[in-house]
């Protein structure tokens, strides 16, 4: 399984765009990139999944360069309620063994 590396923490302000980058240098051909969000005392919640290029949903966008060795989760116009821990996972397609790293602790300030 590909190991992921992401910043331990980030700070932002309400209304700003936040970009969290994750590196996964040894990603395999059939691996997918997935991001989760976790609030205190709750289980993680799926945000977005991608394989290559760009994926967008109502919550976030995921940018994946051609070499797929990194990915960037983009949160547009964050609010205080976006304060949470964000996890980047690399998951083998067809296997679905979900290994979480330490995540990035995002703090959004007024």
Footprint of another protein (CB under 8 A): 32, 34, 36, 41-46, 49, 85, 87, 89, 91, 93-103
Sorted by sequence, the CB contacts under 8 Å of residue 17 that are 6+ apart come out as 74, 75, 76, 77, 78
| Cβ-based nearer residue to another protein, 23 or 49 | 49
Report in angstroms how near the CB of residue 109 gets to another protein at its nearest: 20
Q: b vs e for 46-79, b when ≥16 Cβ sit within 10 Å of the residue's Cβ?
A: ebbebeeeebeeeebbbbbeeebebbbbbbeebe
Report in angstroms how near the CB of residue 106 gets to another protein at its nearest: 14
Report in angstroms how near the CB of residue 92 gets to another protein at its nearest: 8
DSSP helix, strand, coil percent of the chain (3-state; round to 5): 5, 50, 45
| Cβ-based nearer residue to another protein, 78 or 87 | 87
Report in angstroms how near the CB of residue 30 gets to another protein at its nearest: 9
Q: In a 3-state reduction of DSSP, which class is residue 28?
A: coil
| Cβ-based nearer residue to another protein, 3 or 77 | 3
């Amino acid at each position: 399984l590909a190991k992921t590396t992401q910043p331990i923490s980030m700070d932002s302000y309400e209304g700003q765009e936040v970009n969290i980058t994750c590196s996964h240098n040894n990603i395999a051909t059939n691996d997918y990139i997935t991001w989760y969000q976790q609030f205190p005392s709750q289980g993680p919640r799926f945000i977005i999944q991608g394989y290559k290029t760009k994926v967008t949903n109502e919550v976030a966008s995921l940018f994946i360069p051609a070499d797929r060795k990194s990915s960037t989760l983009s949160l547009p116009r964050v609010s205080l309620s976006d304060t949470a821990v964000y996890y980047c996972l690399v998951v083998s397609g067809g296997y679905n063994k979900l290994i979480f790293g330490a995540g990035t602790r995002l703090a959004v300030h007024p």
